[in-house]
């Protein structure tokens, strides 16, 4: 469900982290607050050393140890808390289009509006350097790549049509990346029927 404060949805990694933390009592015999207390009382200084200590001294998995360390340090609340992530998501996008890239923001906004019109199953979960667009998996991503261009990447593996010249390959097919092609856009007017068609194709490929 869309958060009423923003256009954005909780990143899938947040749900994954929350599940790990909620399952701590059953898996480790201790809830999160006890692990944080143990780490703060007895653990070493430095996040890497603290995470390693939880693994070697207490037998925790790497992801679990890292999450507990982050919670204890309050260093990356967006990594494990839904509300914190949604606040951070707004900042991520604002930072992407700050200062000399501010003129690119209308392109970004128009692309997100286009994506949201595809269906109620679209989710938008910004990262620090790009904005992935999800259906079941990532189908597209938006990122200001230069001072003059916004890259609109699309997941088009399995598409039956040949891509037009302006829809460039990213090398994703060879590398096994989700994003395989991209439009490079310098103005809102370039978001035309061709861009819409290939976004629709990416959406349908992830049905």
Same domain, 185 and 116: yes
- 123 and 71 co-located in one domain: no
Cite the DSSP H helix spans in 29-154: 32-42, 47-58, 62-73, 82-96, 105-116
Q: Would you say residue 177 lies in a domain?
A: yes
**Helix, coil or strand: residue 192:** coil
pLDDT in 10s for each residue of the chain, 207 residues: 454 346 898 887 787 888 898 899 999 999 999 999 999 999 998 889 999 999 999 999 999 999 999 888 876 666 667 778 888 889 999 999 999 999 999 999 999 999 999 999 999 999 999 999 999 999 999 999 999 999 999 999 999 999 999 999 999 999 999 999 999 999 999 999 999 999 999 999 999
> Does this model's pTM top 0.95?
no
Our count of domains for the chain comes to: 2
68: left (phi over 0), alpha (psi -120 to 50) or beta: alpha
Rounded Cα–Cα distance for residues 203 and 181 (Å): 14
Total Cβ atoms within 10 A of residue 78: 20
- Residues 176 and 136 placed together within one structural domain of the fold: yes
The predicted pLDDT at position 26 comes to 95
Range of the domain at 26: 12-82
**Are both 163 and 117 inside the same structural domain?**
yes
Residues 127 and 193 in one domain: yes
CA distances, 101 to each of 120, 129, 154, 193 (Å)? 30, 13, 22, 25
């Amino acid at each position: 469900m869309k958060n009423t404060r923003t256009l954005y949805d909780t990143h899938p990694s947040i749900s994954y982290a929350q599940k790990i933390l909620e399952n701590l009592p059953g898996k480790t015999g201790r809830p999160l607050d006890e692990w944080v207390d143990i780490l703060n009382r007895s653990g070493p200084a430095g996040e890497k050393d603290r995470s390693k200590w939880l693994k070697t001294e207490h037998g925790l998995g790497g992801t679990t140890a890292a999450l507990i360390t982050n919670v204890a340090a309050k260093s990356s609340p967006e990594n494990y808390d839904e509300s914190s992530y949604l606040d951070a998501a707004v900042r991520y996008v604002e930072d992407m289009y700050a200062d000399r890239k501010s003129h690119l923001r209308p392109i970004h906004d128009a692309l997100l509006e286009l994506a949201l019109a595809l269906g109620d199953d679209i989710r938008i979960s910004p990262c620090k350097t790009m904005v992935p667009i999800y259906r079941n998996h990532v189908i597209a991503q938006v990122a200001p790549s230069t001072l003059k261009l916004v890259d609109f990447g699309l997941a088009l593996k399995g598409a039956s049509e040949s891509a037009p010249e302006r829809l460039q390959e990213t090398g994703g097919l060879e590398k096994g990346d989700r994003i395989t092609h991209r439009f490079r856009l310098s103005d809102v007017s370039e978001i035309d029927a061709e861009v819409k068609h290939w976004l629709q194709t990416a959406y349908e490929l992830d049905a």
